[in-house]
Amino acid sequence: MDYCLKESEVNSPIVKEAWKDLIDSYKELENPKKLEYRKSQILEGSRRQVYETTLRKMIYKNKSEKKGGRFMALTSERPGQYGVINAYDEWLFNMLKRHGYDFSIFSSKVAPKFDEKPFKNEKPLLYQGILFANHLPLLDVLESFLDHTMKPGESVLFFHKSRSLLMLLDAGLKDKPYKFQGIHYKKYDPNPFSLGCEREIFDYQLNFLMLHDEWLDEARVRSILNFGF
């Protein structure tokens, strides 16, 4: 049985509002490259936490009991350079591995072929068990990958936070010779930067980043603002 774990890409209301206000204040961020640069600084400098360990336990139970399941991660992001991050694919793999999600030991040895439409120019990339969709439609990417790697009668479980995406995938893959099962996955850290903080703290971090080119962690900002934990 194969499992696909979708990287959480949720933006909380606090984060969305803060970014909007920041862009209104710093017009340079209307440039996509400059916005990407600042976001990459946050990704590289912020601290992450794992609040839901069920999937991690499932992965290692499968390994220890030698059930033969193959695990992978799927992200809509592109590999390669992302702002200050030289190789986002390597960065994401190492970040997940530090939290106990090492998909490389389960990934299929069969490399998918992304030569057909719509992958003529921009193509997905499978790196160490993580499938990077490169901002291409997730249904097209996942369908191409599964068609190439799955055998008739095999099953795949797909975890995702979006019911609409799961419904789209269920409809698009229902007639395949393999079995696809989408599972609504709700237990994630709702803040992509794992801040879990008040709006004032996030505002301070963003503005300090713009003025001093440095991302401050939450503990330091709480100390500066005299906020307790």
What is the average per-residue pLDDT within 153-167?
A: 79
Please determine, for residue 67, whether its predicted confidence score (pLDDT) is greater than 70: no
Please state, in angstroms and as integers, the Cα–Cα distance from residue 139 to each residue in 25, 68, 88, 142, 143, following that order: 37, 25, 22, 5, 6
- Return the structure tokens found at 162: 């979006």
Segment 169-200, tens digit of pLDDT: 888 888 999 888 877 665 444 444 444 456 78
Q: What one-letter code names the amino acid at 39?
A: K
Assessment of whether the complete model's pTM goes beyond 0.85 = no
Contact indicator for 39, 215 with CB cutoff of 8 Å: no
Q: What percent of the chain has pLDDT over 90?
A: 7
Identify the band that residue 112 occupies on the pLDDT scale cut at 50, 70 and 90.
Answer: low
* Cα(159)–Cα(55) distance, integer angstroms: 9
Contact indicator for 73, 7 with CB cutoff of 8 Å: yes
Q: What one-letter code names the amino acid at 173?
A: L
Please state, in angstroms and as integers, the Cα–Cα distance from residue 219 to each residue in 96, 106, 113, 227, following that order: 23, 36, 46, 9
| Whether the bond into 112 is cis, omega within 30 of 0 | no
Please determine, for residue 64, whether its predicted confidence score (pLDDT) is greater than 50: yes
What is the average per-residue pLDDT within 154-179?
A: 83
Q: Give the SS3 label for residue 82.
A: strand
For strand 130-132 and strand 125-127, is the pairing parallel, antiparallel, or unpaired? Answer: antiparallel
